Amino acid sequence: MSDTEAPKAEEVKPEVTKPAEKEKPRLVTETDLTKYKARDIVNDVMKKLVELVVEGAKVLDLCIKGDELIEQATAGVYNKVIKGVKTGKGIAFPTSISVNNAVAHFSPLASDPLSSQALAKDDVVKVQFGAHIDGFAAISAETIIIGASEANPVTGRRADVLQAAWHAAQVAMRLVKVGNKNWAVTEAITKVSAAWDCKPVEGQLSCQQTQNVIDGKKRIILNPDAGQKTGFETAIFAEDEVYGIDILVSSGEDGKARIEDSRTTIYQKEGTVNYQLKMKNSRAIFSEVQKKAGAFPFNVRALEDEKRGRLGLQEAVQHGLIKPYEVIYTPANTFVAGFHFTIALLPAGPLLLTHPPVWYKPELVKAEKTLEDEELKPLLTKALRDPKPKKPKKAAEVTVEETAEA
């Protein structure tokens, strides 16, 4: 190019602005977490109920009291009517008090043969219930040994099964994290239980939760038999999911349980079955269930007429509109201990939505065995959330002392 030629102007390409990416909607919003205030209600009710779980207390009375406390506590919150609609709230799982080898869901009616059952010294008592606000449920369960104290700690097979269940719960809550698979939790609970010569109760499920759903599609299974293992779907935990983790461990050799003579009293409406009930009473009871319990489990005790309720439920159960929570038992002279916690997998890390056990303390239990597994043992002291990495200091922030040391 000669000195007299004007330089060519550089070609200026127009800036291409990418369309702003839409922010991925949160599965669990801040508003949802506020409604998980039900966890505080559950914790408070558990404290009050544990004080009543003593020698001589009747199981029926404890179940009634637990439900009453939940109803009273939820009645006092979220009473604002928005666009003419009241916020649904109340019992997310009826109170059940399952003793010794009863696995779960024992909540008798006054008319039942076992309604007079009273707690005795050394009984292994599992207390479970839940509350919800606007369909966001917090469910909790823990195990209490009647008469145990620091001066008189739990020993023998009761201590073994209690330690196995508690440690299994601690390990599970650290393995239910984004990216992990459900089978990792299943296998870990089996290994932890084996440290105390115990077995998880066969086929028991923990499920993903969403609004108005406590038995979602992603699940964890305990101690599956060959058929259950083959047909059970692998799931990967993801961000913003909520899970109800149910740990149930037996002192028996195989963890197997069966139905005995206890009558089922807890049921839940199924949302996927389309069937027109034929009997007038069945339709009336089904309508009452929808109005009072919605998508959540209920006790027959909550219906206006227990006798009509039982009769009306038969057709609905037979055709899959309502599912029973049957009471099952491990063999006689075995014990079952259990813990249930609700956990949310938030972007900042896992968050327990139900509080730690009210009754359990290590000094109340004197077991001869301990967890020795080199992979699982460190999880017991691991924080639930990974610590945030420290930001490197800028040059201007380096102190005189640090410079001198260098």
User: Which domains does the chain possess?
Assistant: 30-264+326-380 (3.90.230.10)
Predicted confidence band of residue 343 (pLDDT cuts 50, 70, 90): very high
Whole-angstrom distance, CA of residue 216 vs CA of residue 91:
18
397 vs 49, more confident: 49
pLDDT at 4: 46
The DSSP string of 184-249 is HHHHHHHHHHHTTT-EEPTT-EEEEEBTTBSS-S-EEESS--HHHHHHPPP-B--TT-EEEEEEEE
* Residues 102-150 pLDDT 10s: 999 999 999 998 889 999 999 999 999 999 999 999 999 999 999 999 9
For 71-77, what is the mean pLDDT? Answer: 94
pLDDT band at 16 (very low <50, low <70, confident <90, very high): low
Q: Answer for the pair 94, 67: CB distance below 8 angstroms, yes or no.
A: yes
> With 80 as the cut, is the pLDDT of residue 165 above it?
yes
Q: Residue 394's pLDDT band (boundaries 50, 70, 90)? A: low
Compute the distance between CA of residue 250 and CA of residue 223 in angstroms, rounded to an integer: 11
pLDDT tier, 14 (very low <50, low <70, confident <90, very high otherwise): low
User: So what's the pLDDT on residue 395?
Assistant: 53
Q: What is the mean pLDDT of residues 218-246?
A: 95
Q: Residue range 2-8: average pLDDT?
A: 46
pTM of the shown model = 0.87
- What is the structure's pLDDT at 261? 83
Tell me which DSSP letter residue 181 carries. Answer: B
Q: What's the first-to-final CA gap in the chain, in angstroms?
A: 56
